[in-house]
Amino acid sequence: MTYIEFLLIFTVVPIIILAFILRKELNAQYVRTLLLVSGIAFAATALWDNYAVYSGIWMFPPEKTLGIYLWYVPLEEYMFFFLQTYLTGLVQLYYLLKGGYDPKYSKSGTRANIQIFPLIVLMSMFTLQVNREDVILLPFGEFNYLFHLFAWAGSFVLIQFIFGGRKIRDNSKLIIIPTLIMTAYFSLADSISIGNGIWSFDPEQTIGTKVGNVPLEEILFFFMTNLLVTEAMVLFLNQSLLKPKQKSS
């Protein structure tokens, strides 16, 4: 299995299936929000991912990719930034509409939440301007992956709570359950990709704890990235949309 085949099987096909199931509920605002969040995810993740490959935390064998690279990262990895966002966002919408989600009453509006957008974009633009010569290898040995993950993801979680903590708390069930579902899903898919040699990890920069063949850091990576996606979707969507569709009697 190659990386592009992995994307087709584990992201593209499920996205098509969910989009078909939810075709009547996918209104314009939800689609625009998915596109917005995927753009932010791309900008916020690009340098972080490049640094991980640059420093050898993880590697992509050339024979498993199309051979098209931007900086250190193959094209398929950039595609994954978008596809993970779309799939997680659609799973979240499915849970919202069909999974028995019971929202708390909230007076949270959208004005303050929109303020988070320019800040995240500015942070992303700043990090994307860093040159290769500015990169310094992390000095934490087997904790490099963990430090790299939480230093990056933790800053964005903090930003989201600063600008929309109340809305996040009011919709915590809508955030955490899709996050856990997609963490389990992508961890299983990750196990298959590791088994097929699509990517690998430096044992000297990971703590060595695994679930099957998946490093603990990878499971935490999927938890953090899916959490950032589900929180961002809640922050950018109007509160009026964060309610299950009422079933007709």
In one-letter notation, the amino acid at residue 163 is F
* pLDDT number for residue 126: 42
- Other beta carbons within 10 angstroms of residue 138's beta carbon come to 18
Q: Is the pLDDT of residue 248 over 70?
A: no
* pLDDT number for residue 80: 96
* pLDDT number for residue 159: 85
Cα 179 to Cα 231: distance, rounded to the nearest angstrom:
9
Beta bridge partners of 70: 73
> How sure is the predictor about 111, in pLDDT bands with cuts at 50, 70 and 90?
very low
| Domain residue extents for the chain | 3-241
pLDDT digits (tens, 9 = 90+) for 154-202: 888 888 888 888 889 889 999 999 999 999 999 999 999 999 999 999 9
* In contact, 174 and 92? CB cutoff 8 Å: yes
Q: How far is CA 89 from the centre of its chain?
A: 10
- CA 161-166-170 angle, 5° bins: 120
Ordered DSSP codes for 88-150: HHHHHHHHHHHS---PPP----SHHHHTHHHHHHHHHHHHHT--GGG----S-GGGHHHHHHH
Task: Give, as one character, the DSSP assignment of residue 12.
Answer: I
pTM greater than 0.95:
no
Q: What is the mean pLDDT of residues 203-228?
A: 94
Cα 231 to Cα 165: distance, rounded to the nearest angstrom:
10
pLDDT digits (tens, 9 = 90+) for 228-245: 999 999 999 887 778 766
pLDDT digits (tens, 9 = 90+) for 66-93: 999 988 999 999 999 999 999 999 999 9
* pLDDT number for residue 135: 52
* pLDDT number for residue 241: 79
